[in-house]
Amino acid sequence: MRHDSDLAKIIDSGSPKSRLGSLIRWLLAASVLAALGVGGVAFLRSRAETQATPRYQTETVSRGNLRVTVSATGKLAPVNEVEVGSELSGTIEAVFVDYNDRVKKGQVLARLDLAKLQDAIAKAKAALASADAKVLQTAATVQEARANLKRLRQVAKLSGGKVPSPAELETAEATQQRAIADEASARAAVDEARATLRSSKTDLTKASIRSPIDGVVLARSVEPGQTVAASLQAPVLFTLAENLAQMELQVDVDEADVGQVQKGQAATFTVDAYPNRQFPATIDLVRFGSETVDNVVSYKTILNVDNDDLSLRPGMTATAEIVTAERENVLLVPNTALRFTPPKPAANEQPSSGGGLLASLLPRPPRSATGKSVTESPDKSAAQRVWVLRDGQPMAIPVTVGQSDSRMTEVTGADLAAGIPVITARLSSTP
- Could you read off the pLDDT of 118-156 as tens digits, one per residue? 999 999 999 999 999 999 999 999 999 999 999 999 998
> What residues make up the domain containing 217?
84-107+208-239
Predicted confidence at residue 268, as pLDDT, reads 96
CATH code for the domain of 216:
2.40.50.100
Residue 367 has pLDDT above 60, yes or no: no
**Comparison of pLDDT for 238 and 354, the residue scoring more:** 238
What residues contact residue 237 under an 8 Å CB cut-off, 6+ apart?
84, 85, 86, 109, 110, 209, 220, 221, 222, 228
Asked whether the CA dihedral 124, 128, 129, 130 is positive or negative, the reply is positive
Residue 254 has pLDDT above 50, yes or no: yes
Evaluate whether residue 95 is within a structural domain.
yes
Least confident of 113-127, 163-177, 362-376: 362-376
Please check whether residues 258 and 187 belong to one and the same domain.
no
User: Among candidates 373, 377, 372, 371, which has minimal Cα distance to 335?
Assistant: 377
Instruction: Taking residues 189-200, report their average pLDDT.
Output: 96
Residue 416 has pLDDT above 90, yes or no: no
Please check whether residues 226 and 257 belong to one and the same domain.
no
pLDDT in tens, 9-64: 544 555 555 556 666 777 776 676 766 766 665 666 655 555 556 788 899 999 99
Asked whether the CA dihedral 285, 288, 293, 295 is positive or negative, the reply is positive
Instruction: Taking residues 243-269, report their average pLDDT.
Output: 94
Domain boundary among 299, 329, 359: 329
Least confident of 64-73, 164-173, 406-415: 406-415
CA distance 212 to 238: 11
Predicted confidence at residue 140, as pLDDT, reads 96
Residue 86 has pLDDT above 50, yes or no: yes
CATH code for the domain of 313:
2.40.30.170
Instruction: Taking residues 328-335, report their average pLDDT.
Output: 92
pLDDT in tens, 300-313: 999 999 999 999 99
User: Among candidates 303, 425, 386, which has minimal Cα distance to 55?
Assistant: 425
Please check whether residues 248 and 165 belong to one and the same domain.
no
Least confident of 68-82, 123-137, 188-202, 334-348: 334-348
Please check whether residues 302 and 191 belong to one and the same domain.
no
Evaluate whether residue 55 is within a structural domain.
no
Residue 247 has pLDDT above 90, yes or no: yes
Evaluate whether residue 425 is within a structural domain.
no
Please check whether residues 198 and 132 belong to one and the same domain.
yes
Predicted confidence at residue 24, as pLDDT, reads 73
Per DSSP, what are the bridge partners of residue 331? Answer: 63, 411
Evaluate whether residue 252 is within a structural domain.
yes
Residue type, 292: T
User: Among candidates 336, 348, 353, which has minimal Cα distance to 406?
Assistant: 336
Burial of 322 (0-12, 13-18, 19+ CB in 10 A): buried
Predicted confidence at residue 175, as pLDDT, reads 95
Please check whether residues 123 and 255 belong to one and the same domain.
no
Preceding amide of 166 cis, omega within 30: no
Residue 379 has pLDDT above 60, yes or no: no
Upper half-sphere CA count for residue 340 (Cβ side, 13 Å): 24
290 neighbors 298 (Cβ within 8 angstroms): yes
> Percentage of the chain with pLDDT > 70?
79
Please check whether residues 255 and 171 belong to one and the same domain.
no
**Count of domains in the chain?**
3
Evaluate whether residue 292 is within a structural domain.
yes
Residue 184 has pLDDT above 90, yes or no: yes
Residue 350 has pLDDT above 80, yes or no: no
Predicted confidence at residue 284, as pLDDT, reads 96
